[in-house]
Structure 1
Amino acid sequence: MPKRVAPLTAAEVKALWTKGQPWRHADGGGLYLVVTGPKRAWWMLRYALAGKQREMGLGAADPDGRNGYTLAAARERAAEQRKHLRAGTDPLEHRRAAEAAAERAAGALRTFRECAEAFLAEKGPEWRNAKHRAQWGATLATYAYPTIGSLPVMSIGLDEVKRVLSPIWTLKPETAARVRGRMEAVLDFAAVHGWREGPNPARWKGNLSLSGLPSRAKVVPVERHPALPWPDVGAFMADLRAQRSTSARALEFLILTAARTGEIIGARWSEIDLAAALWTVPRDRMKAGREHRVPLSEPALAVLREVRPLCPEDVDGYLFPGQGQGNPLSGMTMLKLLGRMGRRDITPHGFRSTFRDWAGEATGHPGDVVEMALAHAVANKVEAAYRRGDLFAKRRHLMDDWATYCGSAKGEGSNTPG
């Protein structure tokens, strides 16, 4: 016969708990006091099920019951678990199922706003653009929260999503598209965390697309940034060079580098290597999230030499400083410059299309070289995975040809690489 274990007494538990000598002390029936240090101990139930030994924690031990379970309380907890054993149920599995059910019940009470705030707290730090993070939350606060913010996330269906979108779907199609996408992301996040079940009611394809909301293509035509025809670049550049302002030099540099407006106004001298004729744009300022090396033509370098006196002592100052100490040029200044030049028919961003059209129609430069000069992401994931270089030498040739073309008096002729 197995040796009988003498039950513990409350006095023994207190002495063992206080002394703190690490050991397991049996109380009988599979209940143990597990001491790990002075005033650090917990209760454990050992049992066998289907020929396998298992151990189950029953909570912290405390002789006074203030921060854990007394001996009497632990025996009651052990007795409850033995009932499950007699019914043929594994106590550990029963507890896990009960905890999962409680979590689902709590999740069902989570509101859309709570889920959105949890999503932003978890995913927001991954976004490199602080303005984007702020706009993400502001968009939901303006358009979604008044309608569904206080609703349990489990109860949100197609009707609730449409109540948010319908008032702005045709009046503000771009905003409505962002709101829909952000609601979809929050509801997916809630589903992953077990706070809701079922298909995502904010999904467009096969869902909202069949609900009576017209597609964006039917609501508003796709508008491209107005661009200058490439044969007119030379004449325009001659007019631009006659403009004596920081915004004019910024626009000239933008055209010569085929860069985006944000990349230009955020550019700092620490990114420039004049000796190597190189501008390295850090990944956190690139749309694709990758560092971008820009070969600088001689005309582009001339622009930089002209604006260098604007901040001669500041090695990390902006290339094109704006008003106020340490501020960059405003993103609207180049657009206003075009207005003063009588060219409200074009935009700064449109010069990237001008560059692309010139390269495709007037040169023999390969398309992948041109796309890389524009810092476009590679759409094909397989190709992107195998692409290691950035075709820098070929892009330098391309940008030199572009600068030469921009310098022609009337933008005449073509530059086919030899």
Structure 2
Amino acid sequence: MAKIAKKLTDTEIKSTKPAEKEVNLFDGDGLLLRIAPLAKGGKKNWYFRYAVPVTKKRTKVSLGTYPHLTLAKARALRDEYLSLLANGIDPQVHNTQKANALKDATEHTFQAVAKKWLDEKVKTSGISQDHANDIWRSLERNIFPTLGDTLIKEIRPKMLKQHLDPIEKRGVLETLRRIISRLNEIFRYAATEELIEFNPADNLAQRFSKPKKQNMPALPPSELPRFLMVLNNASVRMETRLLIEWQLLTWVRPGEAVRARWTDIDIETGMWNIPAEFMKMKKPHKVPLSKEALRVLESMKAISGHREWVFPSIKAPLNHMHEQTANAAIIRMGFGGELVAHGMRSIARTAAEESGKFRTDVLEAALAHSKKDEIIAAYNRAEYLAERVALMQWWSDYVQAQKFKIIAA
């Protein structure tokens, strides 16, 4: 007749003290309490011993420590594990799967993975925090409401297509193109992290209409007097008006204009040394400052001379203005569809080219357009600097002349 194991009691467990050697107390059906030797602290640990399904190899799994895990709870766990074994399931494999599922539900949702992707992108690609915030807001508007809490490994191509169809129907094809591009980046990141086995956004762009390529809206130079007149009379903050003038006079991009720092500007030599981290092409860029550009700085000095940024944010002065500030003002001035802030570079380039006074390469250098050959590009930047000093002053005088046309009219 099989020997029936004596069931443990709380009294027996509490009264059994640690000894010089390990002590085991058995409750039956694989449950035991192991009391460590005195020399090792005498801790009481619950274990469940069992035979692994299929292989029948004997093993054990730790359940917890007594009294944190009571006798009743230890027995309940043992009974749960016996039930799993009766169905051919290894309790340790089951626990691992449960832990992975919980991790998936919290760390591997689409939104959680997108956050990790964007954090890494900021570090490795050098994009500005403003740009990163814009990307995140776009995902919040267009993706997260329906897919944010979905496990990334459960997202399929058809699911993405159905989700993006309404965006295509709205006719915002350029927005759709950017969203698909970001989805591809996120899923490629997930694949390299071994969270998914394939990219469900691959070839997704081919399923939708392509946006028509459009140049940045820009006025012809002949319309510059009208723009300057409206700018002069517009109901915009002085700092915003000066930012627009600064960008117009320096030929830089909107994101570069708002990141002007006092420490990067040498007033005496009239040179603005833009660090590589602030440039689109990630290469340092020098901008010779005309008399009018220096006048803009003089006007801003009383406002922001004690701060890091020449054009600080109105609401958060420790940060610079948003790179869309000038664009928003230009739209409010009534030039929506006619001109964007980036288009002011086109006005300057066209006017300078039509003057016939400057070589094309000098204009390209002033616009910080990159060349494929790095050695030639570095040589040209140095060679053209003197010509760019003349170019910037010529352009400043040109802009002033357009202002005088307004007065004369």
Q: TM-score range by the shorter chain?
A: 0.5 to 0.7
Distance 1:123 1:249 in 2: 32
**1:279 counterpart = 2:269:** no
> 2:143 aligns to what?
144
Q: What's the CA shift string for 1:9-62, capped at 9, x where partnerless?
A: xx99xxxxxxxxxxxxxxxxxxxxxxxxxx9xxxxxxxxxxxxxxxxxxxxxx9
Q: CA deviation at 1:295?
A: 0.4
Q: CA deviation at 1:232?
A: 4.2
2:377 to 360, 376, 387: 387
2:115 to 112, 117, 128: 117
Distance 2:326 2:252 in 1: 16
Distance 2:226 2:138 in 1: 43
> 2:218 aligns to what?
227
Pick closer, same or farther for the CA change 1:245–1:152 going to 2, 3 Å. Answer: closer
Q: What's the CA shift string for 1:143-176, capped at 9, x where partnerless?
A: 3334444444334332022122112124232332
Unpaired runs of 5+ in structure 2? Answer: 1-19, 22-38, 46-56, 59-92
Structure 1, 106-115 or 359-368: larger mean CA deviation: 106-115
Distance 2:316 2:137 in 1: 29
Q: Which letter does structure 2 place at the counterpart of 1:166?
A: D
Distance 2:335 2:206 in 1: 43
Which SS does the other structure have where 1:276 is aligned? Answer: coil
Which SS does the other structure have where 2:282 is aligned? Answer: coil
Q: Which letter does structure 2 place at the counterpart of 1:229?
A: P
> 2:257 aligns to what?
264
Q: What's the CA shift string for 1:364-415, capped at 9, x where partnerless?
A: 533332222122344x3xx246532424223223222222333335899xxx
Which SS does the other structure have where 1:228 is aligned? Answer: coil
**1:303 counterpart = 2:296:** yes
Q: How does 1:235-246 map to 2 (within 5 A)?
A: 245-246=238-239
Distance 2:303 2:138 in 1: 38
Q: What's the CA shift string for 1:214-261, capped at 9, x where partnerless?
A: 2x22xxx44444322124446755786788944443333322211233
The answer on whether the counterparts of 2:152 and 2:196 sit within 8 Å (CA) in structure 1 is yes
Pick closer, same or farther for the CA change 1:119–1:276 going to 2, 3 Å. Answer: same
Q: How does 1:109-258 map to 2 (within 5 A)?
A: 110-126=108-124, 127-171=126-170, 172-198=172-198, 200-203=199-202, 207-211=203-207, 213-214=208-209, 216-217=210-211, 221-233=212-224, 245-258=238-251
Q: CA deviation at 1:362?
A: 2.7
The answer on whether the counterparts of 1:280 and 1:293 sit within 8 Å (CA) in structure 2 is yes
Q: Which letter does structure 2 place at the counterpart of 1:115?
A: V
> 2:341 aligns to what?
348
Distance 2:291 2:43 in 1: 80
**1:370 counterpart = 2:363:** yes
Q: CA deviation at 1:184?
A: 1.0
Distance 2:233 2:147 in 1: 55
> 1:319 aligns to what?
310
The answer on whether the counterparts of 1:231 and 1:411 sit within 8 Å (CA) in structure 2 is no
Structure 1, 256-265 or 230-239: larger mean CA deviation: 230-239
Which SS does the other structure have where 2:341 is aligned? Answer: coil
CA-atom RMSD in angstroms: 4.4
Distance 1:122 1:297 in 2: 39
> 1:85 aligns to what?
none
Distance 1:117 1:409 in 2: 48
Distance 1:124 1:265 in 2: 19
Q: CA deviation at 1:136?
A: 3.0
Pick closer, same or farther for the CA change 1:156–1:250 going to 2, 3 Å. Answer: closer
Q: CA deviation at 1:276?
A: 0.4
More helix by share: 2
The answer on whether the counterparts of 2:216 and 2:340 sit within 8 Å (CA) in structure 1 is yes
Q: Which letter does structure 1 place at the counterpart of 2:174?
A: E
Which SS does the other structure have where 2:378 is aligned? Answer: coil
Q: Which letter does structure 2 place at the counterpart of 1:112?
A: F
The answer on whether the counterparts of 2:251 and 2:345 sit within 8 Å (CA) in structure 1 is yes
Q: Which letter does structure 2 place at the counterpart of 1:230?
A: P
Pick closer, same or farther for the CA change 1:300–1:138 going to 2, 3 Å. Answer: closer
Distance 2:255 2:289 in 1: 18
Q: CA deviation at 1:190?
A: 1.9
The answer on whether the counterparts of 2:276 and 2:284 sit within 8 Å (CA) in structure 1 is yes
Pick closer, same or farther for the CA change 1:320–1:131 going to 2, 3 Å. Answer: closer
Q: CA deviation at 1:188?
A: 0.9
- Size of the aligned set, in residue pairs, is 315
Q: Which letter does structure 1 place at the counterpart of 2:217?
A: P
Distance 2:331 2:194 in 1: 53
Q: What's the CA shift string for 1:278-320, capped at 9, x where partnerless?
A: 1122334333333321101223223333443445xx3445435
The answer on whether the counterparts of 1:154 and 1:195 sit within 8 Å (CA) in structure 2 is yes
Q: CA deviation at 1:356?
A: 1.7
Pick closer, same or farther for the CA change 1:308–1:154 going to 2, 3 Å. Answer: closer
Q: Which letter does structure 1 place at the counterpart of 2:310?
A: L
The answer on whether the counterparts of 1:235 and 1:411 sit within 8 Å (CA) in structure 2 is no
Q: Which letter does structure 2 place at the counterpart of 1:279?
A: W
Distance 1:188 1:306 in 2: 48
The answer on whether the counterparts of 1:253 and 1:303 sit within 8 Å (CA) in structure 2 is yes
Which SS does the other structure have where 1:184 is aligned? Answer: helix
Q: Which letter does structure 2 place at the counterpart of 1:179?
A: I
What percentage of aligned pairs have identical amino acids? 28
Q: How does 1:77-116 map to 2 (within 5 A)?
A: 110-116=108-114
Distance 1:66 1:178 in 2: 59
Which SS does the other structure have where 1:294 is aligned? Answer: strand
